[in-house]
Structure 1
Amino acid sequence: MGWNSWNTFKANIDQNLIKSTAQTLAQKGFQDAGYSYVLLDEGWQAATRDASGRQQPNATRFPDGIKSLADYIHGLGFKIGLYSDAGIYDCDFYPGSFGYEELDAATYAEWGVDYLKYDNCGGFAAGTLPVQERFWRMASALRESGRDIFYSLCEWGHQFPWFWADQFSESYRISGDIKGSFAADSSGVCQTAYCLNTGYAGVSVLTMIRKMRELSRFQKPGSWGDMDMLEIGTGTMTEVEEQTHFAFWAALKSPLIIGADVRNLSQSSLDILLNKEIIALSQDDAGVAVNYLPDISTEGQIQIWSGPLSSGKSRLVILALNYGDEAADIKIPRRGIQGLSNYTASRYTVRDVWGAKDLGSLGDLGEEIVLRNVRSHETKVLVLSAP
């Protein structure tokens, strides 16, 4: 959980922006809610390495250096992250880390960096090596750096990292970059996970969710499929769309990395990002993602997902998404949810999380749970709890 500069600011960042953002994260309750990382994406680097071949910050934007900024961020109780690339250059043609992995990892460790987002632009000669080898080289260098640095692969789902990234990284992007759109993709974006066009920079929220139908079972502690940063608070979606966005990222166990300018959030976006019950789904002790249930879903209209919970009294979560064009009633048969028919109905209470209300015992709701007038693009989140 944390914040990243890219979605809103692209490469236009400086130390004052990062400091004021960190201050806001602390003041507005994000730190207390569990958001712990402040991540600098592209834009922090100088155009060239120094005389010793080391990465160096842009002296105009970061005149005090990254070590000083890291000390400041740590002083507020956060961790700090940087961006680099497995190619010769990064996406804006600043120096990548190919051929400099050990030196760069040692430099980041010396600066006090806690997280590395590692991109896949600028392959060129580096592209003659398999993507797995280029990303493994930095993993090895980070392990030898003497500092515990979270390693986040950003290679856009290229060559299906859910099959191999768990061997040397903590998270991996499942697809191309997210777009600030709930349902409209950029041209040519493939909606499934297993395709060569991963959608470099135009994947909608709904398509990210669609791709996870095939990938949710790969989620596990220590290696998380990353659906990319949250577009909540960027002014591109309605309130119920932002709720759907947050609920699925949390229940699917994707990292929760805010992409908005937290200094200028609406109250509704702030309330969504700080919702403790949804965050609890993300941070549940079991670490098991919800799975799509095609037998009780209707393609093009209704999606039903469910999964187990183990923290506190919570035992099961159900997500019911209306992604049709009109409001609709959603009926969830108990026999369609794995294990639900075996529960002692009177012992389990059902809570509507976004509605912030209890719906009664499972037994009171009968053989199917009926959700009335669910709005277009709205997701109902139901949590079953035992006494």
Structure 2
Amino acid sequence: MQTQAIYMLLAAVGLLDPASATLLRTSMPLMGWNSYNYYNCNPNESIIKANAQGLVSLGFDKLGYKWVTTDCGWNANYRDSSGQLVWVSSRFPSGGKALGDFLHGLGLKFGVYSGGGYYQCGSTDLPASLNHETTDANSFNNWGADSLKYDNCYSTSNTTMVDNTSPGAVSPTRFETMSKALGAVSRGIVFQVCQWGVGENLGIWAPPIAESWRISNDIQNNWKSIWRIANEVVPYYKYTKPGAYPDMDMLTVGLGALSHEEERFHFGLWSIMKSPLIMGAPALTSATSSQSLATLGNAEVIALNQDSLGEQARLVRRYTEEEWDVFVGTLSGDRLVIGLANWKNGSTAASVDLASVLGISSATARDVWAAQDLGTISGTYSKTLAPHQLQLLVLSNVAKTSATPKSAGYYTATDATLSGSAAKTTCSSTQCLPAHAKVGFIGQGPAAAAVTFNGVKAATSGTKLLGVDFINYDIATDSAWANGSNTRNMTISVNGATPKRWAFPISGGNWFDTGRLQIEVGGFKAGDNTVVFRAATDGQYAPDLVGFEVFE
């Protein structure tokens, strides 16, 4: 955490921004098209031009989709006599400058691709930019590039494509070097870090040097990939602002992998989290369904992403066994966006007490996907969500209330009685907040652990809101290709009742960075209560526990 404090100090005084001179920042997340999700590392000049023309013909450029990026596979397997990267002539006969001129002629932006390693991703011999940062930045500048996506393959070796463990593989140094090189050229170029969210403190070191920063391993063509990435982006609200955005990876809308409802969920979640909206499907009506194009072209949802405040929505409630979440974000014009997210394969009944969850007594609501005004809502808002539905509500004319839950006491993990494998760790004055200590190794199996709190006070009986302070940095890296979820499961039982399970997302940038999950737990009685935390999954650890607050 000392490293994090140093980064924050340097960023605050401007000493961690080596590219402050000309490195381009945009006021809103980038929107555009990238060749990788559909064409993999096999793009060519005709493909890029046809899809760029498709954006314009379909009117997507007028919605903001202006950045067209040729991803991996564009260059030859050698540098020329002056050490510069070369566009492979068999697929890009006109070269980079001509391609950039073509895109600019359509009113679009020209995005290029390289990486901070020896080779590009998806290849064994196509050179990337490690140790050639200045030369390559000048090439990008001369071609008229407007943005650079900077990947992370072959970071420490010219034989190992993906390395998520070596110190050099997760270090920010290579990205800072390229950011500085881009800042030294005459043309403003947007820098997009694609480091996959590995290593510590990405939210600290990346925003000062880049417009956006990939927070996860690659998105896959399946629903569980949406869940995985959603659980990793949660803590980045602390670092998101105009010109600094968490990149949840390119959109799979239109690739035939998700249902219509899932595509709208995917697009809506990326929008309210302020991720760049980079289309991965062909921008051609013959290759992409009209339903998918309508999702990608929904102007109201796009407006949520492009809101001038640039604030990421926050996870404010999780109902794990019921499998739905509540996300809330602040919009310009004193408005709020609410996301009710149903992760279940079946329908679920969602119910939100506006006062206790949102701190408001009433508001004027609009259902964004339905394009329907709902009028004034107050009290409790209820909605039956379809399988894998994300309902988006925009609230205006918001009347706030003071009738929100009040704290009835805080209990630190060090106050608990520990059993099994559970063990206390003392943290520094800037770690494991607010208790500066945590309980870890809360495991199942032969070393089953329990973290028991006795004498937990409640004024009344029934269900209580708990704010659970936890630490989870079990990020899905290699496991993301299979079953990684970025969650750790923990059960909570009150007064001996049947334990109930919650999935805890990533909490921050390391194993000492605390997050809070707001949950509702039943079984309390007036007076003293016993609350027990355990791991929920056999053979797997629960998140580390810092403490919890009870609200009445």
Structure 1: how far apart are the matches of 2:199 and 2:99?
36
2:383 equivalent to 1:371: yes
- Structure 1 pair 352–98 and aligned structure 2 pair: CA distance change class (3 A): same
Q: Percent identity?
A: 39
State the partner residue of 2:375. Answer: 360
Give the residue type in structure 2 aligned to 1:375.
A
Give the residue type in structure 2 aligned to 1:309.
L
Give the deviation of 1:220 after TM superposition: 1.6
State the partner residue of 1:380. Answer: 391
1:166 counterpart SS class: coil
Structure 1: how far apart are the matches of 2:105 and 2:379?
54
State the partner residue of 1:340. Answer: 360
2:55 equivalent to 1:25: yes
Please give the per-residue CA displacement for 1:9-62, whole angstroms capped at 9, x wherever unaligned: 011111111011010000101101111100000011011001111001001100
- Structure 1 pair 282–384 and aligned structure 2 pair: CA distance change class (3 A): same
Structure 1: how far apart are the matches of 2:321 and 2:338?
18
Confirm or deny: 8 A CA contact 1:306 1:337 kept in the other structure.
no
Q: Which runs of 5+ in 2 are unaligned?
A: 1-30, 159-165, 399-552
Give the deviation of 1:119 after TM superposition: 0.7
Map 1:318-337; keep pairs closer than 5 Å: 318-337=338-357
State the partner residue of 2:303. Answer: 280
State the partner residue of 1:137. Answer: 177
Structure 1: how far apart are the matches of 2:102 and 2:212?
26
Give the deviation of 1:339 after TM superposition: 3.6
Structure 1: how far apart are the matches of 2:274 and 2:238?
11
Larger mean CA deviation between 128-137 and 315-324 belongs to: 128-137
Correspondent of 1:71 among 91, 97, 101 = 101
- Structure 1 pair 99–380 and aligned structure 2 pair: CA distance change class (3 A): same
From the two aligned structures, give the one with the greater strand fraction. 2
Structure 1: how far apart are the matches of 2:265 and 2:220?
15
Correspondent of 1:8 among 31, 35, 38 = 38
Map 1:180-329; keep pairs closer than 5 Å: 180-183=221-224, 204-263=225-284, 264-294=287-317, 297-299=319-321, 301-311=323-333, 315-329=335-349
Give the deviation of 1:125 after TM superposition: 5.3
Structure 2: how far apart are the matches of 1:279 and 1:309?
13
State the partner residue of 1:200. Answer: none
Give the residue type in structure 2 aligned to 1:8.
Y
Confirm or deny: 8 A CA contact 2:354 2:380 kept in the other structure.
yes
State the partner residue of 1:46. Answer: 76
State the partner residue of 2:191. Answer: 151
Give the deviation of 1:301 after TM superposition: 1.0
2:352 counterpart SS class: strand
RMSD after superposition: 1.6
Please give the per-residue CA displacement for 1:225-248, whole angstroms capped at 9, x wherever unaligned: 100000000000111100000010
Give the deviation of 1:213 after TM superposition: 2.2
Give the residue type in structure 1 aligned to 2:289.
S
Correspondent of 2:138 among 100, 106, 117 = 106
Map 1:159-198; keep pairs closer than 5 Å: 159-160=199-200, 161-183=202-224
Please give the per-residue CA displacement for 1:250-300, whole angstroms capped at 9, x wherever unaligned: 000000001111212111101100101100100111111110012x63455
Structure 1: how far apart are the matches of 2:174 and 2:303?
35
Please give the per-residue CA displacement for 1:71-126, whole angstroms capped at 9, x wherever unaligned: 00000000011110111212213101111100100011001001101111112359
Larger mean CA deviation between 211-220 and 67-76 belongs to: 211-220
Between the two proteins, the alignment pairs up a number of residues equal to 355
Tell which structure's C-alpha radius of gyration is larger. 2
Confirm or deny: 8 A CA contact 2:119 2:154 kept in the other structure.
yes
Give the deviation of 1:216 after TM superposition: 2.9
Confirm or deny: 8 A CA contact 2:241 2:309 kept in the other structure.
no
Please give the per-residue CA displacement for 1:337-369, whole angstroms capped at 9, x wherever unaligned: 33423xxx3xx321111111111112xxx3111
- Normalised by the length of structure 2, the TM-score is 0.62
- Structure 1 pair 4–164 and aligned structure 2 pair: CA distance change class (3 A): same
Give the residue type in structure 2 aligned to 1:360.
G
Q: Which runs of 5+ in 1 are unaligned?
A: 184-203
Larger mean CA deviation between 4-13 and 206-215 belongs to: 206-215
